[in-house]
Amino acid sequence: MRLRRSRCLTCYWHEGAFVVHPHPHGTSMELHPAAAEILTAFDEWSTPDEAAGRLGHLTPDTIEEAVAALVDAGALLAQGSTAARRDELIAGQWGAWMPEASFFHYATSDVYDGHPAGDAPAPPDGEAGDPAGAEAPAGPLPPLFTSHPAAPRVLLPRRPAELRTPLGEVLYDRRTHRDFTGAPVSLDTLAALLAAVFGPVDFIDCGRGALYRRTSPQGGSRQEIDAYVGVLGVSGLSPGWYHYNGLLHALELLSEGFTPQDAAHLCADQSWAARPAFFVVLAARLERMSVKYPTPRAYRVCLLDAGHLGQTFALTATALGLGPAQTGAFRDSAVAGRCGLDNTGHTPLYVLAAGHPEPEARDAPPPAGVAAFEATTLVAP
């Protein structure tokens, strides 16, 4: 039998043990670190004897035993097997995203299958109605709101957003804007937007205390995402970085000074990013989610939560007459630094922006015409 190392394989140390973790099929196994060397010998299809020839210093018994364990775990695949074909397919599909993206995706997939009742990780689907095994671990819960008591504060105006534009209009008017007039956004407008997107709407009893809800659905109502505001042009606010304290409806000044050049730099040198009036960095405080959901799958929910907030931000900004923008391309460590985050348990996920949009956007893509459609495969032939 000829064997090859799975292309979809990640090895790491966890709690002192060396772990060989094939995905999506296969199981993670704690093995002696010599397993890494044995796996290296199966870079290409080889029989165990051929591999043993490359591993002269290991005894045949050690190799035989390790090969059996690695085959069982799915780390070594048999030539011509279904698993080997699927492994090739996955490696081809995920391509340059491997191993980071595919490992996270598959290692956190199917986590609700095959667990005896009561052993399954809790799906992050709300405090009520979680299945057996979803009991929140005992111990103190982290604070619901982030606060910077020592920071100078601006209590924001409390005039609620005028959101009377029909939903249909807002939905179809929403566009990503990259051209802005440069006119400052009023403090009233920024305050209304922050309250509508990030402020608490109501409080619910989760059985162990209160949680709050926002206008966006958020996994388990954990509200792990905080909003940090980078101000370039907002009347009444000096340029700088602020934290939005949703409990107090206040901006807490973290650092003074912020320039259009700095904004573009933070957004991976995208030129449009020098033009919005303000930015909102969505940063996850992981502990708020992980204290309830120890499964690493819950990190997916943090990303989904950020997407929900991003969409609510875009729609609300549109309804308020602003042009929204967003980017996943930003300098993570530098953005974290501007927000005063240590970037360990409190880390930026998404960067949003808005300003008064130019009526005639220079950077807007033209509508697709005949030439564009000619160059496009609409459906597989």
Q: Measured in Å, how far apart are the chain's first and last C-alpha atoms?
A: 39
Nearest CB to ligand FMN, comparing residues 68 and 329: 329
From 25, 153, 175, 331, residue interacting with ligand FMN (rule: CB under 6 A): 175
Q: Is 101 in the site for ligand FMN (CB under 6 A)?
A: no
Residue with Cβ nearer ligand FMN (123 or 276): 276
Alpha-carbon span 270 to 250, nearest angstrom:
30
Integer angstrom CA distances of residue 317 from 161, 162, 185, 209, 322:
10, 11, 11, 33, 5
Residue 358 interacts with ligand FMN (CB under 6 A): yes or no? no
Interface with ligand FMN, residue 223, by CB under 6 A = no
Q: The dihedral of CA 58, 59, 65, 68: what is its sign? A: positive
| Residues in binding contact with ligand FMN, number by CB under 6 A | 8
Give the DSSP H or E segment for 92.
helix 82-94
Smallest distance, ligand FMN to C-beta of residue 257, A: 24
Rounded CA gap, 211 and 144, in Å? 7
Query: In terms of CB distance, is 17 or 303 closer to ligand FMN?
Result: 303
The rounded distance, in Å, linking the Cα atoms of 69 and 73 is 6
Give the separation between CA 139 and CA 328, rounded to whole angstroms: 35
- Residue written as token pair 């409390």: 158
Q: Which is nearer to ligand FMN, 47 or 176 (CB)?
A: 176
Which contiguous run of DSSP H or E holds residue 241? strand 240-245
**Closer of 178 and 292 to ligand FMN (Cβ):** 178
329 binds ligand FMN (CB under 6 A): yes
**List 176, 186, 295, 343, residue binding ligand FMN (CB under 6 A):** 176
Residue (172 or 373) nearer to ligand FMN, CB: 172
DSSP letter (8 states) at residue 8: S
- Smallest separation (angstroms) from ligand FMN to the CB of 100: 17
> Given its phi and psi angles, is residue 166 left (phi above 0), alpha (psi -120 to 50 degrees) or beta?
beta
**Which CB, 62 or 270, lies closer to ligand FMN?**
270
User: Tokens 């927000």 — which residue?
Assistant: 339
Spatial neighbors of 173 by CB under 8 A, at least 6 apart, are: 318
Q: Is residue 271 near ligand FMN by the rule CB under 6 A?
A: no
* Residue number, 275 or 292, with CB nearest to ligand FMN: 275
Nearer to ligand FMN, 195 or 325 (CB): 325
Two tokens at 169?
A: 């209009």
Query: Under a CB-based contact definition with an 8 Å cutoff, are residues 104 and 24 in contact?
Result: no
- With CB under 6 A as the contact rule, the residue among 321, 328, 368, 372 that binds ligand FMN is 328
Stretch that binds ligand FMN, among 117-125, 213-221, 296-304, 324-332 (CB under 6 A): 324-332
Least distance in angstroms from the C-beta of 175 to ligand FMN: 4
Candidate ranges 171-179, 196-204, 211-219, 368-376; the one touching ligand FMN (CB under 6 A): 171-179
Per CB under 6 A, does 343 bind ligand FMN?
no
Contact 228, 281 (CB under 8 A): yes
Residue written as token pair 């960095």: 281
215, 270, 295, 343: which one binds ligand FMN (CB under 6 A)? 270
| 147 contributes a contact to ligand FMN by CB under 6 A | no
Helix (H, G, I), strand (E, B) or coil at 259: coil
Residues forming the site for ligand FMN (CB under 6 A): 175-176, 178, 270, 326-329
